[in-house]
Homo-oligomer: A and B are copies of this chain.
């Protein structure tokens, strides 16, 4: 049974803290294993990749077979039903339209001292996208990772997707094609991250790695961070629904289950100002759990990490939500705009009864790669900014240097960095001598 809490109960704060700090992941310490795998790939390149893939994905592989060829992709795509293609096309178009708006602008201005300042954004040259394999090999994830990269202007986009026992997901191949992915490799786990970061004989190294993955992938991303850029360490999915008791309990139940069905470690929480509505949602969840295909997973998630919290009012609900800093937040109220204004820490907000979170997973437009485990306190979902970097620009005139140089000389002296100061002094001396 999930937790039922009421903020008016005496023990609420302690119970809520327990909920906040609940360890949902086993987080096995795979760091030593991962360090070994990375070292192996760095030392032996393709040979290591092939051996590791044989061991973990049970398929024999040669260096020539690491890449999924264009012909293979064509053959896989031919298996995709036309309706699935159309759905994916619509999703891709909407995701692209949203992300195009994220492109930041360059800037350049001249200030009163005569200094011209500014910045310029440029794209990362090469990016690697990790796509989990097996049952969690999601075509939608390919779109969500690849489209922002291509919108940003990344020239070379490589995907690594493990194909356990050789099974390729045709719709993943179609998504890669639609998104403009340049290379696809049938490798996964820490070895894929190592290959992307350091390169092998066959796989050129990239500059940035994004995409979700299991504990091995996460540990490997953490290890190669610095050598390449990474996006985030994603944890199990979460949804928080805030309801004032309007709307359909079954809709809310399904929204809660749409996260719970991802993973036994997923977390679904309802905060409602209407205790009776909370009970009805609980009942609706139980009813749905009798028939859902993934009821074993969703049921375990709901039982172990689910919660229904009754709050005094929406203000209190919003404050609790900010403490949770949820990955996905649904505002199931008739007029969601004022409530939305109260929310500060959340990866993505879905406003009103007609915006199920699942829309955001596929076709809404915003990215579905979002900060989990309370990291919305300090980080954002994936965006084109993850594939761009900013170069700052500064140009002094002699007059500008005369105006601000003395302060630099003074501070350099205070920091005992003589050459710093002299590099300004030498120029100012020339200036003070007048034109040659």
A interface residues, Cβ below 8 angstroms from B: 83-84, 86-88, 90-91, 94, 97-98, 101-102, 104, 107, 109, 111, 115-117, 119, 122, 124-125, 135, 138-140, 171, 207-208, 222, 225-226, 228-229, 232-233, 248, 250-251, 254-255, 257-258, 260-262, 288, 292-294, 298, 336, 340, 343-367, 370-371, 373, 375-381, 383, 385, 389-398, 400-401, 404-408, 410-412, 414-424, 426-427, 430
Contacts and interface: CB of A to CB of B under 8 A. Distances in A.
B361 A262 contact: no
**Most chain-B Cβ atoms within 10 A of its Cβ — which of A98, A350, A415?**
A415
Given A91-B411, A111-B97, A139-B414, A343 B261 contact: no
Contacts of A423: 251, 254-255, 257-258, 356-358
Contacts of A357: 423
A349 B394 contact: yes
A208 B124 CA distance: 24
Given A101-B107, A408-B361, A293 B426 contact: no
Given A226-B233, A363-B408, 8 more contacts: A83-B410, A87-B414, A88-B407, A104-B104, A117-B365, A117-B366, A347-B391, A363-B411
Given A358-B424, A407-B362, A392 B229 contact: no
Contact of A418 (B87, B294, B381): B294
Contacts of A260: 419
Copy total for this chain: 2
Contacts of A367: 392
B345 A421 contact: no
B117 A416 contact: no
